Amino acid sequence: MSGASVVSMRRRRAGMGGSPMGWATLALSALLLAGCARGPAPVVFHAEGYPARLSDWNVVYRDGDRLALNERVVPFDLNTPLFSDYAHKLRTMWLPEGTSARYEPREAFDFPVGTILSKTFFYPVAAGENGVARTDDTSRDHAGEGLDLRNVRMVETRLLVRRQQGWIALAYVWNAAQTEATLERTGASVPLQLVAADGSREPFTYQVPDQNQCAGCHASNNTTREIKPLGPKARHLNKDYAYATGSENQLAHLVELGYLHDVPATGVPRNADWRDAANASLDGRARAYLDINCGHCHNPEGPADTSGLWLDSFDRDPRHLGLCKPPVAAGQGTGGHRFGIVPGQPDESILAYRMDSDDPGVMMPELGRDVVHREGVALVREWIAAMDGDCEQD
Amino acid sequence: MRIMLVLAVSGLLAACGDGRREPATAADAEFQKTLQQRLLDAKPGDVIDIPAGRYHLDRSLSLRVDGVTIRGAGKDKTVLSFKGQTSGAEGLIVNASDFTLENLAIEDTKGDGLKVNEGENIAIRGVRVEWTNGPDTGNGAYGLYPVQTRGVLIEDSVVIGASDAGIYVGQSKDVVVRRNHAERNVAGIEIENCIGADVYDNVATHNTGGILVFNMPDLPQPGHTTRVFKNRILANNTDNFGRKGSAVSAVPAGSGVVIMSNDEVEVFDNEIADNQTANVLIASHYSAGYDSKYKPSAAFDPYPEYIYVHDNRFSGGGDSPDGLELKALKVAMFGLKGRLPDVLWDGYANAKRPQGPQICVQGASGVLDADGPNKNKSPKSDAKPFDCKLDPLPAVAMKQA
């Protein structure tokens, strides 16, 4: 079975997905025998400059009705992801042959120079002009490990590239034909309409970040200003993924591929899946949500350390987590409330208020969303509502 | 070496005039893209010149390269208008050192006008930040907002309409704020958790509170050593339009200088007049309504200490304090037509500090101890306990000032 899977995977990667099966099989056999694939060109690591097209990197490529992953490009996802206007995401990792990332227990893995991470933001298409579906359902998104472009619309693909000097962030915006994505270093605004299952529509502007805005989140230490990946951390990656070869724990899979080393046998942290109420506690789900959505700025070294509010997943005293903590510089973002979190009272909590806003002067996170994440707000409200006590002094 | 980068954007003049409510034009979009591209590609030493004109932007600008100057043709000539801004919590966000912003205006941002989050040697000169609709709770919070910076000079600038503080320097070291004009903000100028700040030759008028020196809890750096001198702090009587819960929303309208929880503050040689609650308020964390069940770390000092108010020119003020409690206090002690004395202290002091709070006042009409710890039961109008002198504080040594 596994042998067949490998072949089918290779065939797809050889760029023949649109061909009649017989011909493809024949051609594939020929090429396997000949030992020289006429597949996609290999992934290209650009050590400097700003390549203008996504295809210049060749990490992902258009193959008939699919967006396909190149050789040795490995997909991954996170226990709880960052919310980005209901976009679905295809994340991939590619490391140069013979290199490997070192495991880190808390921070992003230490990736070698030449690493290319990609994240493609897309939506299931919906009816009407610029219609995209507001849905968590990913069942029709994929074709193999890539994307089924008959069902989804790609908006942008972001690359994080590890160069000698450090990481660089680049955002490529897909054209209407979905055939090429072009570098937009100053960002872009894409008008879209979220269409719910009941047909209701919410127009919004999808904001592709400019290069500095990428750093605004990815430089989670505001003093070194060093850009780092946010997703590929042990606690986010420690979960199963449905690879073409079958389902497997992502860390184990990366180790097998030689992409990751020094993973300890025990004690690997794991964030909750924010939607998995059956298997994870409310506290675990809410903290996982706050960790990935807020913790990159709200940590003791981050850009939001100016606020004294720390929302990463590590042990924090209640006050730094916002409990009965007055804001420092929230301005009109208080919404008229006195404290970050008032136990038991989401309506009195600044945290919930700012998550529930789409006003750029009020909302949190400050970047990366144009609409409210209703389900995320509901989770955090439920978490606050379940807390005992109040802020009154005894 | 300095390289001049002049933005060559055609059709900008078409966007001038009273285009304030016009949607952003193609020229504006092009300008925004070009300017942001310049900011991304800037090299240390670059000067980015923005010619005179009114430009509409709908998303934040950002800079992360050290050693860059952004310069306009004048604070009423080069105007970056963010009216209708759709994304970004600031007009311009900077995370860089050796940064200079001068001679331009930032108008109507959704959030802060300029935020500089970490960096050394920051100069802001001849800049206007304004919310053109005047005081409004929905305005952005801060006009000019350097935070966690070192070596900050803000001069010859104007801020109008901020819903929190017009000029707000937070958690910084070696700060000079001079010759600025702060008007119709909730707080005109606020120095918060800073170490070493000189605030002088400014005008703060028609704000809710004129000049504030605060310490807030939960932050890495407690502030001390601020000198407020040679300023004109006049008629700061605008109703507090800050959103409830914000740090300044507890400031009573009619406050001239407000010192809260900060230590080593010297207020001298100012003209302080007609601030209807009090010309000078000295308060602890406990009077601001910030206290709650979960306490800040024990290292946080909630009391103002080593405060020296002397040789100011006071006139008027105290005649119509904001809030029922203060009104009642005034009537009870000074009668309907009376006024509170120039200096009002909430009365909270650290009983364990052997030398006492060291609040010294010279040359004021009086000092009122409001007896906050006993819910204002026994307020005392007696300047005697404050008739003392303190050593003057050192001037801020600025590399570039």
pLDDT digits (tens, 9 = 90+) for B283-327: 999 988 777 888 888 889 999 999 999 999 999 999 999 999 999
> Given A212, A305, A390, which is nearest B64 (Cβ)?
A212
Q: State whether B274 and B341 are in the same domain.
A: yes
For B38, name the nearest residue in chain A, comparing CA atoms only: A186
Q: How many domains does chain B have?
A: 2
Percentage of chain A surpassing pLDDT 70? 90
Secondary structure (3-state) at B27 = helix
Instruction: For residue B291, give how far its alpha carbon lies from the nearest alpha carbon of chain A (Å).
Output: 8
For B33, name the nearest residue in chain A, comparing CA atoms only: A186
- Residue B133 domain flag: no
* A 185-244 → B contacts, CB under 8 A: 185-187, 189, 205, 207, 210-213, 215-216, 219, 222-223, 225
DSSP string across B266-315 = EEES-EEE--SSEEEEEE-GGGGT---SSPPPTT---S-EEEEEES-EEE
Structure ipTM: 0.90
Residues with Cβ within 8 Å of residue B373, at least 6 apart in sequence: B286, B347, B348
Alpha helices of B10-120 — where are they, by DSSP H? 26-41
Identify the residue among A165, A167, A186 best suited for mutation to test binding to B, counting B beta carbons within 10 A and taking the highest.
A186
Q: State whether B219 and B363 are in the same domain.
A: yes
Asked if omega into A365 is within 30° of 0 (cis), the reply is: yes
Tell if the CB–CB gap between A366 and B296 is shorter than 8 Å.
no
Q: Which tokens in the block code for residue A178?
A: 């979905």
Nearest CA-CA partner of B255 in B271, B273, B272, B279: B279
**Cα(A70)–Cα(A97) distance, rounded to whole angstroms?**
13
Tell if the CB–CB gap between A335 and B294 is shorter than 8 Å.
no
Percentage of chain A surpassing pLDDT 90? 84
Q: State whether B115 and B94 are in the same domain.
A: no
Q: State whether B143 and B213 are in the same domain.
A: yes
Residues of A in contact with B39 (CB under 8 A): 212
Residues of A in contact with B163 (CB under 8 A): 331-332
Q: Please, what is the average pLDDT of chain B?
A: 93
- Residue B72 domain flag: yes
Residues paired with residue B127 on neighbouring β-strands, in sequence order: B104
* A 325-344 → B contacts, CB under 8 A: 325-339
**Cα(B309)–Cα(B258) distance, rounded to whole angstroms?**
12
pLDDT digits (tens, 9 = 90+) for B145-187: 999 999 999 999 999 999 999 999 999 999 999 999 999 999 9
A3 pLDDT band (50/70/90 cuts)? very low
Q: State whether B223 and B76 are in the same domain.
A: no
Q: State whether B154 and B281 are in the same domain.
A: yes
**pLDDT at A392 > cutoff 90:** no
Instruction: For residue A67, give how far its alpha carbon lies from the nearest alpha carbon of chain B (Å).
Output: 29
- Residue B6 domain flag: yes
**Cα(A116)–Cα(A350) distance, rounded to whole angstroms?**
38
Residues of A in contact with B187 (CB under 8 A): none
Residues of A in contact with B40 (CB under 8 A): 185-186, 210-212
Q: State whether B230 and B363 are in the same domain.
A: yes
pLDDT digits (tens, 9 = 90+) for B15-59: 444 434 445 688 888 999 999 999 999 999 999 999 999 999 999
A394 pLDDT band (50/70/90 cuts)? low
pLDDT of residue A4: 34
- Residue B132 domain flag: no
Residues with Cβ within 8 Å of residue B115, at least 6 apart in sequence: B89, B90, B92, B93, B94, B142, B145, B146, B147
Query: Domain range spanning residue B152?
Result: 111-124+138-238+245-401
Q: Within an 8 Å CB–CB cutoff, is residue A308 touching chain B? A: yes
Q: State whether B85 and B152 are in the same domain.
A: no
Identify the residue among B292, B297, B300 best suited for mutation to test binding to A, counting A beta carbons within 10 A and taking the highest.
B292
For A188, name the nearest residue in chain B, comparing CA atoms only: B33
Q: State whether B57 and B193 are in the same domain.
A: no
Sign of CA dihedral A300, A305, A310, A313: negative
Residues of B in contact with A390 (CB under 8 A): 293
Maximum mean pLDDT: which of A318-332, B24-38, B130-144: B130-144
Residues paired with residue B212 on neighbouring β-strands, in sequence order: B190, B258
**Cα(A366)–Cα(A371) distance, rounded to whole angstroms?**
12
End-to-end CA, chain B: 21
- Residue B270 domain flag: yes
- Residue B146 domain flag: yes
pLDDT digits (tens, 9 = 90+) for A334-352: 999 999 999 999 999 999 9
Instruction: For residue A311, give how far its alpha carbon lies from the nearest alpha carbon of chain B (Å).
Output: 14
- List strands edge to edge, sheet with A116-124: A74-76, A88-94, A116-124, A152-163, A166-174, A181-183
**pLDDT at A16 > cutoff 60:** no
For A208, name the nearest residue in chain B, comparing CA atoms only: B87
